[in-house]
Structure 1
Amino acid sequence: MAAHGPVPQPYTKMAAGVRPCCSCVPKAPALAGGGARGGAGRKRALPRQPAPEVRAARPVARRRAARGRAMAELHLIGQIVGGSGFEQRRLFCTWGLRAGGAWKLLSGPLSGQTQVDDPQAGDVAFWCHPLDVHLATKGLQGWPQLHVQVWHQDGFGRAAVLGYGCCPVPAAPGCHALSCVTWRPRGSWRQRLRRRLLGGGPQLRVPPEAAERFRLRTEAAGTVHLQLGVLLRHFGRFSVQC
């Protein structure tokens, strides 16, 4: 039988004054990021914490910066109810919202068109076309205006404009019932006779907002009825009382 050497026992306790060997002492794990030469036991320096008053001032500065970047908002919700007082039937309306350069569109369309309505009783054409536009601005110059054009469609599918109108958006929040009176160029007596017999009539070559109306001979055409709900936000930051 072969002789076996002494079985090594685990280190439990050393006598006083006895120095253990290297194999008996467990090695400490190396720190993360330490190198092969002298990096295992190196300690990392902790980041320096700011003073309490500095930490308290940072959220205030962030809120002030966000308050400076905030823009006043205008939310317009409503509908184009219909039109009345026009001399023709089979009417539809095109609309567009015009604003200054300081205004920015957040959501919703800036223009649209209603369906054709042919009233069977009375002279009121109902469209009930919805409006939902969300705008933002940093100034009050160029307040939004709603421009409308009422058109007539004959039996052959031809369309002729019957009136132009402009209505400023109310500056007060709440629900508003508005009546936008439209106008059209009067034209000469030949043009009026042709309009009565054949339809059509003189139209503007430029958009109504760019036309100089005081240079034209115009006449009343009809009225467009609107229901608008106005919501204002952050206007108090610009010293505007709503």
Structure 2
Amino acid sequence: MSRSTTATVARTQPKRAVLAAMLLLPALAFGLWNRPVDAQEAPVEIPAPATTLNETSASATAVFAGGCFWGVQGVFQHVAGVTKAVSGYAGGAADTATYDQSSNGSTGHAESIQVTYDPSVVSYGDLLQIYFSVAHNPTQLNYQGPDHGTQYRSTIFPLNDEQTGYAKAYIAQLDETGLFDGPIVTTVEPQKTFYAAEQYHQDFLTLNPTYPYIVVNDLPKVAALKQLFPDAYRDEPVLVGTL
């Protein structure tokens, strides 16, 4: 089964319904591609974290969940200083870290991205700002756009106590700004293991730029990254390739 066919079969029922409508009704698809971005989907220009996390290593790792991992991975792959961004699962057990099992929302897993980065180029705080601003909508509880279920929740999976405290402080800072349409529902879930997703999910945005779901939901995120964070944006994404 090809990557495109496998991915189409694998997506959850809400996403399949959206894709079917777009694929079978070109006029509807055209209308969706050209619809204005509403307030729930629009990127939000937000301040950077008020403090700086002390990062002394040459390489560091962060894990974020914010809806379908195709788009979140695509955003971070275009961030300068990111050396790898892998789609996967976090929040559940190793034996349920597959797309078929996690798709029903009962495993505890969230579709996640493991970001490896150079702190001398891009900081954990920079990544958090991009995550909350353009990578997803942190006010949507257990869904993102057309995708519903706890596997699409907004979650940060910190890898140490420093990341945990820093993420919580930034959420509190952003809530106080009132810049979002509602309260931030992002959870912070430390001490969770990340598991890489199946190969056909890796680099999906770059490999499938005309895929209707990507065109409607994810390419606007990359465009917003370029617009709001021009100094952090790089045109050529860093790809996973073959795991």
TM-score range, shorter chain: under 0.3
Which one has a larger percent strand, Structure 1 or Structure 2? Answer: 1
TM-score with structure 1 length normalisation? 0.26
Which one has a larger percent helix, Structure 1 or Structure 2? Answer: 2
Higher RCO, 1 vs 2 (CA within 8 Å, ≥6 residues apart): 2
